[in-house]
């Protein structure tokens, strides 16, 4: 059962109304690497998880992600505040409003006209959030890897958002959110490594004759060898006939 | 900021493993009238709401919907428990497993094979949840009406789910969830009526010459008069020429 | 059975080619609160409706919404007319065309390049229309509430579109369309109130012990009381333990 | 502007309640080759069409497709009638209702529980209709070809639906609907051939050196020659080096 | 089985970094008329095709479309190259980066922030690719017509993209890709005409009494006659009563 | 540039026509963990990758995934073969066809009626494939982790499919495909570990004060400690006040 406390997990200050920046922030509200996706990911896994330790961890982190969703959504709402008023109060002339919608860049016109300036469950390009973003399949050695990857992606998107704003309050809040994804990634890694064996994931062993072959399917100038196809581990197969198993 | 308490808002007991029933229950987990949609609806509205009373109400109810999501998801997980084991442990023969997936009816095969028996963010037919289900537009006299309607729809879907199960524990939990939607509907109605005027919604008045016309656009045997087009309020226009304004 | 008459329900005049404005208008063509959604909503309800009065009303209004779809789509096509020619005839230099696509703002580049300037079944941000926008569930006391809310939302979006254009012909046509949604909302309200009882919707009564509780789930500075949670109707429950039913 | 007449374009008789058949019929209501898709396809093209003859044709056929949508939706509603009553009235025991939902096959459980037996804008598998099904691009020599193909596909799906029912009333109505798609295909072909030249579509000629080459990209046992790659028209290129242009 | 050769099917040169142009190019990477759609269309048809000649043709062309996907995706990546670096290296000030994202127009902000400058499986407006774009139904006389139409549409979109760029390298590569669609269209037409009879598609004949009627459903100023409804082939029915079959 | 060889990467034998099994197999054709998703994932990453070694690896594996797509699609087509004939030839009575569609279980009715028995780009529940399944973001330390996770998930889904069939030919082919995902996972792990440092992913360091905190957000009976939140690495914070950063 959830409880809500009026305080934000991280206090947000915003320098000035900026609908275009608000729109970019939607990426982490209703985008594929955003906080709703994170919360849904861990919460659905938690409900089906039988292991008490992992279940607790998933609920701890899912609850924190909901709190992040509140932080990022609050940033969006604050950055849109003035714009919201403008449209609702019709204090400007039509031409000015039109210019401000167009000039705001990106898809902030969608946010203003359709959602009235509120945070929408879309990415920054207006694409509706959908549950295809959630890749939980109910097997911990796979799901934990999915979670590690999801945290890594979220960290990168925060990093990119930080790079495009110079509003110090927004920058700080994004820095907090970004850092938490690092901490989550670390927890999921520890949880994965505490399952042994965890490779290959699941129950069935692979067929030995195919498990260590690297098929060189793309050939020509640019063929390279590296740790991912070296002879110590892999049988490197370039023969087109023998690539047919 | 959210906190999570290990107790469910409503304690759930389930008579026996029943993946087909689990699948029907997904309607209120990841379906359009389900608890994720409810929570997202109120939470996104709350973040953009300036009125402190409505903001508090929206957060109160959003938080409860998250707690409902946990209840219904727990029901799904419990009803799938045995089935989950079967597939993972491969205790049955392939033919038996295949029959059980097929015989379970509905789309429970998706739940089992793709999601490993965990609650999926899909409706009972496997349709992925998407944010097009959320119709918040950032204007309270519209959004409150949307919320009233959403609670009414959720109440009906719970009623239908209650009608198809005779598992007493599931029936009881569904009864609790259904009743809470009634209470929410009542709160949203009170909140709407406390805004005055609330009709027409928004700022602009309608054009008087069109605001009380009822265009009888579908004509023939079956044309009816009723409170929705009677002469006290409406000008009833059947003339095809004059229907062109 | 439908018949089509070459005259528009409301005659449209457009001052000048304006692809960016055309693009904003798509919100009510292929957006969630737009005319296709309205027509589909009432038409699907009508087909399953057994009550002859409501069936007639739903068909009357569905048919009008199709006529609105034609009006708004015609506005989009007229606002795009010149732009359409430009691209097809290649009368401008590439650089000029590119600038005009970019400068037009919003997603008008999608409309031009992908749809050739025709009205597309997307919202103003390019999101494809999908039937998740339609929330009909086949129970009149719920569906009428959904319709009331849908009309309220459409009214608001028209209001916002009116606020951003100073083309008098477009403004007038939008004013007509907006006003008709007010009239529809009124009809649906009358139809709902003519069903008695209509609350709670459906057949099953709620469980009395939960039907009038207001769970104060979000607590802290900002907790408020109001008609939606006052003591005359609701038992206001702030105790975290007793919030577990 | 649209008008609606209470009579169906084709009178429908249905032998008995059959929710599983109703569900299959959804394919042509809310499926990709269905009547909503057809109506939307021609209507959006009509609005942007400058040629008066084609515009009239597109409106004529769009209006007929809306009338087909009514016919197929009415079939769905009639086939679901009893089932709708059962669930709403709760006349059966829960166990019987559950069995009937499960036994009805397909996704009729979705139609019953979520949509209350009304025709839903989904295909027979519960996939929500989306505007990605509409491929209009605003150039007649392409769009007419798209329409010819769409009619051909719709004809085939009707044929398959006819093959799986022995209800004579449903069979007859499907036969009417199927035949009309044949007539539409013929009209669109005539309209295409009346544009000259219509190949290649659009304005720009192709680059002569690539316009008549057939690249034999898939090689091995099964390589075939035929009218689509014969030497009279095509330069047949099997040399992997020369396939790089 | 596929093999990949490091050379592109058509060598691409790009004048300068241009994220806004890159974004427009996405239309043919992850858009409805783009190369992924083309490849998926022909490949899925090929797998189910029993006729050896058509199967070979479908595989030949599917394989070429994959090679086109590589060409257009490479163009996107090259046009984004500098922009990618900017964001990742954070060499610019935040304000400059923000301006460049905003000024780049269109949805290039999505491509940069969410996808890091790589080619995304979206159209130029950020709409995610979905398999609803693929209309294969497993009957050659319908599917070949669908393919003819798809090639025509792709040709037109390339033409429009050519019209908006003056980068000679991009223009040339687009010209190659456009021309290949012309060649494909020709092959599919030849393949269709080699099936006899191919009209009506499928097995069932139409009902003679409805197969040659043209229902004049849209009436008024603008009614036109033409090859698509002339008396030699069609019975032209304007009588509203007789339009009810 | 791609080339296609008529031989399958793994020769498939199928015991008998089985549309219900065919339908389950769609999970790995057009499902989220399926081969199209795998191919698209690696191919889009490859196009934007600057590092020559990783680019080669991504192209090698993308090409193999396309070859897997062919194998699984061929299985679907073979399992549907007889069923396809039945419907097209109408050799059975309608009633028998109807029963066989219904009895086949799952969503095979969609495959038969809509797609004519061909492999569809849907999952086993009929959900259309969409590009939201692809999570590439253009940063190798994130994308490689995403790929590792994707391979782990695909491995598990194959394992589950193997568990439900006793057709030895299908089982063997699935075993091959499953094993290859193990090999791919290994390659991606080697590629990730060859980047140093790879944690945290990206450029920006985290804020030290938040990078090693574990917020115990879900409290109550069931709180657990483990490697993911132990004191050696993490500061375990249960105080609700101090959880507000
Ligand atoms: Ca290689
Ligand atoms: Ca199903
Ligand atoms: Ca389904
Ligand atoms: Ca009427
Ligand atoms: Ca945009
Ligand atoms: Ca409160
Ligand atoms: Ca060949
Ligand atoms: Ca967009
Ligand atoms: Ca006409
Ligand atoms: Ca805990
Ligand atoms: Mn987070
Ligand atoms: Mn996280
Ligand atoms: Mn609820
Ligand atoms: Mn509620
Ligand atoms: Mn309207
Ligand atoms: Mn209306
Ligand atoms: Mn039709
Ligand atoms: Mn038709
Ligand atoms: Mn191509
Ligand atoms: Mn082509
Ligand atoms: Mn694979
Ligand atoms: Mn793989």
What's the A63 CA to ligand 11 centre distance in angstroms? 10
* CA–CA gap between residue D4 and residue B223 (Å, rounded): 11
Taking every pair of Cα atoms in chain E, the longest distance, rounded to a whole number of angstroms, is: 73
Q: Could you tell me if D165 and D237 lie in one domain?
A: no
Q: Name the residues around ion ligand 22, CB cutoff 5 A.
A: F 38, 151, 181, 184
Q: Look at residue E86 in the predicted model and tell me its pLDDT.
A: 62
Rounded to a whole number of angstroms, the distance from the CA of E220 to the nearest CA of chain F is: 38
Decide if C9 is inside a domain: no
- The model's pLDDT over D92-118, given as tens digits with 9 standing for 90+, comes to 688 787 777 766 656 888 888 999 999
D214 φ/ψ angles, rounded to the nearest 5 degrees: -115, 115
Q: What is the pLDDT of residue B93?
A: 82
Ligand closest to F216 (CA) is: 10
Tokens standing for E150? 């798809």
Task: Give the minimum alpha-carbon distance from C225 to chain A in angstroms, rounded to a whole number.
Answer: 15
pLDDT mean over E174-180: 98
Same domain, yes or no: A64 and A110: yes
Q: How far from each other are the two terminal CA atoms of chain C, in whole angstroms?
A: 52
Rounded distance from Cα F60 to ligand 1 centre (Å): 5
Q: Which residues pair with E94 in a beta bridge?
A: none
- Which residues 119-148 of D are in CB contact (within 8 Å) with B? 122, 125-128
Query: Cis (ω within 30 of 0) for the bond into A197?
Result: yes
Per-residue model confidence (pLDDT) at position F93:
82
Q: Which of D118, D140, D203, D204 to mutate to test the interface with C (most CBs of C within 10 A)?
A: D118
Task: Say whether B110 sits in a helix, a strand or coil.
Answer: helix
pLDDT at D233: 96
The token duo for C176 is 């007509």
Determine, yes or no, domain membership for C106.
yes
Q: What is the pLDDT of residues C166-193, one digit of tens each?
A: 899 999 999 999 999 999 999 999 999 9
Mean confidence (pLDDT) of chain F: 93
Each residue's pLDDT tens digit, B101-127: 766 656 888 888 999 999 999 999 999
CA dihedral D119, D123, D129, D131 (to 10 degrees): -130
A235 membership: H or E segment, kind and range: strand A235-237
pLDDT tens track for D29-79: 999 999 999 999 999 999 999 999 999 999 999 999 999 999 999 999 999
Contacts of residue E193 in chain D, CB cutoff 8 Å?
Answer: 227
- In this complex, the chains that touch E, judged by 3 or more CB pairs closer than 8 A, are A, C, D, F
Which ligand is the nearest neighbour of the Cα of B237? 4
State mean pLDDT over F196-224: 97
C8 neighbourhood in chain B, CB within 8 Å: 244
Closest CA of chain F from B118, distance in Å? 14
Q: What is the pLDDT of residues B126-135, one digit of tens each?
A: 999 999 999 9
Is F25 part of any domain? Answer: yes
Written as six digits, the tokens of C81 are 């007319």
Spatial distance between the Cα atoms of B80 and B88, rounded to a whole number of angstroms: 12
Chain F hits for E69, CB-CB cut-off 8 Å, are 43
By three-state DSSP, how is residue E219 classified? Answer: strand
For D181-220, what is each residue's pLDDT tens digit? 999 999 999 999 999 999 999 999 999 999 999 999 999 9
- The chain A residue lying nearest F243, using CA atoms, is A9
Cα first-last separation, chain F: 52
| Residue at which a domain ends, from C193, C214, C234 | C193
Cβ count within 10 A of residue B208: 8
Q: Which of residues 75-104 of F touch E (CB under 8 A)?
A: 76-77, 80, 84, 88, 90
Q: Which residues of A touch B114 (CB under 8 A)?
A: 137
C74, D47: Cβ pair inside 8 Å? Answer: yes
Residue A93 to residue E142: CA distance in whole angstroms? 54
Q: With CB atoms and an 8 Å threshold, state whether E105 touches C109.
A: yes
Instruction: Assess if residue B218 is contained within a domain.
Output: yes
DSSP D53-120: HHHHHHHHHHHHHHHHHHHHHHHHHHHHHHHHHHHHHT-S-HHHHHHHHHHT-TTHHHHHHHHTTSPP
Place of tokens 């084709």: D10
Together in a domain, B23 and B135: yes
The residues, any chain, with a CB within 8 Å of residue C100's CB and separated by 6 or more, are C19, C83, C86, C92
Is a pLDDT exceeding 80 seen at residue B83?
A: no
Q: If you count DSSP H runs as helices and E runs as strands, how many of each does chain E have, helices first?
A: 9, 4
Query: Chain F contact for A191, CB < 8 A?
Result: yes
pLDDT above 80 (res D89): no
pLDDT of residue A88: 60
Phi and psi at F15, nearest 5°, equal -70, -45
- Contact with chain D for residue C111, Cβ under 8 A: no
Q: For E11-22, what is each residue's pLDDT tens digit? A: 999 999 999 899
Show residues of chain E in contact with C128, CB under 8 Å: 127
Residue E88 binned pLDDT confidence (cut-offs 50, 70, 90):
low
Domain extent for E55: 19-193
Kindly state whether residues E125 and E35 are assigned to the same domain: yes
Residue F218 CA to ligand 10 centre (angstroms): 4
Assess whether pLDDT exceeds 80 at residue B219. yes
pLDDT, mean of residues B178-183: 98
User: Is there an interface between D and C (3+ Cβ pairs < 8 A)?
Assistant: yes
Q: B198 in a domain, yes or no?
A: no
If asked whether residues B188 and B244 sit together in one domain, one would say: no
Is the predicted pLDDT of residue D176 greater than 80, yes or no? yes
What is the sign, positive or negative, of the torsion defined by CA atoms of D40, D46, D47, D48? positive
| B122 contacts F126? CB cut-off 8 A | no
C89 and C180 belong to one structural domain: yes
Tell me the C-alpha distance between C82 and B61, whole Å.
Answer: 50
Summarize pLDDT for C18-39 with one digit per residue, the tens. Answer: 998 999 999 999 999 999 999 9
Same domain? C215 vs C168: no
For residue B111, give Cα distances in angstroms to A179, E131, E161, F177.
Answer: 34, 21, 43, 22
Instruction: Give the whole-angstrom CA distance, residue E49 versus residue E138.
Output: 8
**Residues in chain A with pLDDT < 50?**
none
Give the residue on F whose Cα is nearest the Cα of B3. Answer: F217
Number of domains making up chain E: 2
Claim to verify: residue D84 and residue D170 sit in the same structural domain: yes
* Residues of chain A found within 8 Å of residue F133, distances taken between Cβ atoms: 132, 135
Same domain for E189 and E211? no
Q: Which residue of E has its CA nearest to D136?
A: E153
Q: Which residue has the higher pLDDT, F97 or B5?
A: B5
Residue F133 sits in the same domain as residue F238: no
pLDDT computed for residue B90 by the predictor = 57
Q: Among residues E80, E128, E73, which one has the least CA distance to residue E104?
A: E80
Residue F228 in any domain: the answer is yes
**In chain B, which among 27-46 make CB contacts under 8 A with chain F?**
none
Q: F77 pLDDT exceeds 90? A: yes
Closest Cβ opposite residue D218 in set E63, E139, E152: E63
Q: What is the mean pLDDT of chain B?
A: 93
The predicted pLDDT at position B107 comes to 81
Instruction: Report the pLDDT value the prediction gives residue D48, as an integer from 0 to 100.
Output: 95
Q: Is residue F140 located within the same domain as residue F178?
A: yes
Nearest-neighbour CA in chain D from E43: distance (Å)? 11
- Å from A244 to nearest chain E CA? 8
Q: Would E91 be classed as within a structural domain?
A: yes
The residue among E52, A230, F228 whose CA lies nearest residue D224 is: E52
Please tell me the distance in Å from B86's CA to the nearest CA on chain D.
21
> Residues with Cβ < 8 Å from E166, sequence gap 6 or more?
C93, C94, C95, C98
Kindly give the pairing relationship between strand C2-5 and strand D2-5: antiparallel
φ, ψ dihedrals at C237, nearest 5°: -110, 110
Candidate from A53, A57, A202 with C-beta closest to F155:
A202
Alpha helices in chain C (DSSP H): 19-25, 27-30, 35-48, 52-89, 94-103, 108-115, 140-163, 168-193, 208-211
Tokens representing residue D106 in the block: 């397909």
CA-CA distance, E118 to E123, in Å (whole number)?
Answer: 13
CATH classification at residue B67: 1.20.1260.10
Q: Which of A53, A141, A215 sits opposite F152 (nearest CB)?
A: A141
B100 falls in which pLDDT band (50, 70, 90)?
confident
By the 8 A CB rule, do F216 and A61 touch? no
Give the distance (Å) from ligand 16 centre to CA of residue D54.
30
Q: Is A84 contained in some domain?
A: yes
Nearest residue, CB atoms, C130 vs list D7, D59, D129: D129
**Which of the pair, F177 or B93, is modelled with greater confidence?**
F177
B162 and B72 in a common domain:
yes
Instruction: Quick: pLDDT tens for E108-123.
Output: 888 889 999 999 999 9
Give the whole-angstrom CA distance, residue E18 versus residue E22: 6
Interface contact C207, partner E, CB < 8 A: no
């Amino acid at each position: 059962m959830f409880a809500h406390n009026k305080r934000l997990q991280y206090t947000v200050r915003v320098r000035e109304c900026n609908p275009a920046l608000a729109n970019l922030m939607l990426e982490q509200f209703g985008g594929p690497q955003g906080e709703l996706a994170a919360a849904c990911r861990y919460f659905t896994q938690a409900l089906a998880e039988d292991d008490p330790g992992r279940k607790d961890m998933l609920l701890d982190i899912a609850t924190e992600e909901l709190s992040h969703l509140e932080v990022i959504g609050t940033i969006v709402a604050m950055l849109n505040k003035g714009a919201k008023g403008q449209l609702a109060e019709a204090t400007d002339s039509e031409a000015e409003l039109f210019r401000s919608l167009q000039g705001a860049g990106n898809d902030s016109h969608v946010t203003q006209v359709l959602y009235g300036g509120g945070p929408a469950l879309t990415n920054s390009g207006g694409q509706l959030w959908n549950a295809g973003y959630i890749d939980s399949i109910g097997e911990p050695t796979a799901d934990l890897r999915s979670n590690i990857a999801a945290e890594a992606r979220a960290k990168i998107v925060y990093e990119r958002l930080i790079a495009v704003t110079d509003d110090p309050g927004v920058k700080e809040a994004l820095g907090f959110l970004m850092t938490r994804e690092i901490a989550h990634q670390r927890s999921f890694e520890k949880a994965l490594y505490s399952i042994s064996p965890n490779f290959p994931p699941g129950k069935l062993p692979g067929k030995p004759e195919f498990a260590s072959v690297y098929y060189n399917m793309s050939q020509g100038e640019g063929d390279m060898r590296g740790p991912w196809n070296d002879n110590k581990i892999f049988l490197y197969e370039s023969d087109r006939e023998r690539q047919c198993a």
